[in-house]
Amino acid sequence: MNETAFKNVKSLPSSHLLGTGTPMCAGCGGLEALHEIYDVLGEKSVFVNAAGCMTLLAVYPFTPFRGSWLYTAMASAPAGAQGIRDALDILKQKGEIEEEEDLQVVTLTGDGAAYGMGLSATSGVIERNLDFLYICYDNEGYGNTGQQYSGATPHGAKTATSLGLSGFAGYKKPLFDIWAAHRPAYVATVIGAEPLDLARKIEKAKSLKGPRLIIALSPCPTGWDFDPKESVNIGKLAVKSGVWPLKEYVDGQVVHTKLPTRRLPVVRYLETQGRFRHLFEPERQEGLLKEIQQRVDEYWAAVTC
């Protein structure tokens, strides 16, 4: 993209409010989180949106954002963010845009790209200390293509490609830890059902420079098989049961921002979703349920802060 074309991106017609009139699923936990995130980031941002559920927000030539938006292939969003950040820096150095015209560069992907297809490119831009914010809406599967399993799919969940009696045999990849091992500026987990925790973390990420990641667990009515009106309740259960720890990595330290001192049994979370129904009927799979609970217990037993 040449400098003239890049500068013109800001003038493209994009006056629609985020999410207005878009073909998204009712009860989408990813859209819930994105609404809250965008309220904090504001329109002085450019979203580099990898192929996935959220690309359905845009209908050419309009985007759902009041700022700028760029579509990329699933594995290419971090590389796109690098190009945009470099272009903005060059324009500032040449005096063609003022500091107040600068934009926050934001990568927006699902877990298929963040945990898998785009992880190599992501590692590269972190190594180069790219100044960008990476937002992953994590619906724990390839939700846009029928909920096949991804690197974020939890153990035991049924997916379109994990149809056995015990569901997905693998385990959710520790993306938070993988990013933290790169020693970036900031990493945090959030969920739309905890808006104050989410807003505080986005404010912090916005104030920092360098590579920053926000992973938003995104309850998915179509992929997880539940009534859309239950999306917020399921999000809260994910936190209260300890399945989704709310935490942040900053200055080399991991701090948990919400400690579920009286954790609910994990089955309270699992039984709300059709993707785990096979664990309860026609016969209750006590061994697998015990294993899932034990892994959550072991995680929290090791938490010191």
Residue that has been written with the tokens 């992953």 in this structure: 136
- The pLDDT, as a whole number, for residue 285 is 98
- The pLDDT, as a whole number, for residue 12 is 32
DSSP string covering 157-220: --BTTB-STT---S----HHHHHHHT--SEEEEEETTSHHHHHHHHHHHHH--SEEEEEEE---
List the end-to-end C-alpha distance of the chain, in Å, as a whole number: 46
Report in angstroms the alpha-carbon separations of 90 from 2, 6, 99.
11, 12, 12
**CA–CA gap between residue 153 and residue 173 (Å, rounded):** 8
Q: Mean pLDDT score of the chain, rounded to an integer?
A: 91
What would the mean pLDDT of 216-240 be, rounded to a whole number? 98
What would the mean pLDDT of 5-29 be, rounded to a whole number? 52
Do residues 115 and 152 make contact, with C-beta atoms less than 8 angstroms apart?
yes
Residue 17 has pLDDT above 70, yes or no: no
pTM of the model: 0.92
More confident residue, 66 or 82: 82
- The pLDDT, as a whole number, for residue 72 is 95
pLDDT classification of 98: cutoffs 50, 70, 90 = very high
Q: Percentage of the chain with pLDDT > 90? A: 86
Residue 189 CB partners (closer than 8 Å, separation 6+): 176, 214, 215, 216, 217, 244, 245, 246, 247, 248
Residue 173 has pLDDT above 50, yes or no: yes
- The pLDDT, as a whole number, for residue 60 is 78
Residue 11 has pLDDT above 50, yes or no: no
- Burial code of 246-282, b = ≥16 C-beta within 10 A, e = fewer? bbbbbeeebeebbebeebeebbebbebbebbebbeee
Residue 236 CB partners (closer than 8 Å, separation 6+): 193, 194
- The pLDDT, as a whole number, for residue 295 is 98
Residue 290 has pLDDT above 50, yes or no: yes
- The pLDDT, as a whole number, for residue 30 is 96
Max Cα distance, the chain (Å):
69
- The pLDDT, as a whole number, for residue 117 is 95
Output the CA torsion 229→232→154→26 (10° steps): 40
> 3-301 — its CATH code?
3.40.50.970
- DSSP symbol at 148: B
Task: Name the strand (E) or helix (H) holding 136.
Answer: strand 132-138
What would the mean pLDDT of 40-66 be, rounded to a whole number? 89
Task: Sketch the domain layout of the chain as residue ranges.
Answer: 3-301
- The pLDDT, as a whole number, for residue 23 is 65
Residue in 178, 202, 159 with CA at minimum distance from that of residue 33: 202
Q: In which order are the strands placed within the sheet that holds 104-110?
A: 68-72, 45-50, 104-110, 132-138, 211-217, 186-191, 246-250, 253-258
Q: Percentage of the chain with pLDDT > 70? A: 92
Q: How many CB atoms lie within 10 A of CB 288?
A: 17
Residue in 140, 137, 194, 178 with CA at minimum distance from that of residue 162: 140
Do residues 175 and 187 make contact, with C-beta atoms less than 8 angstroms apart?
no
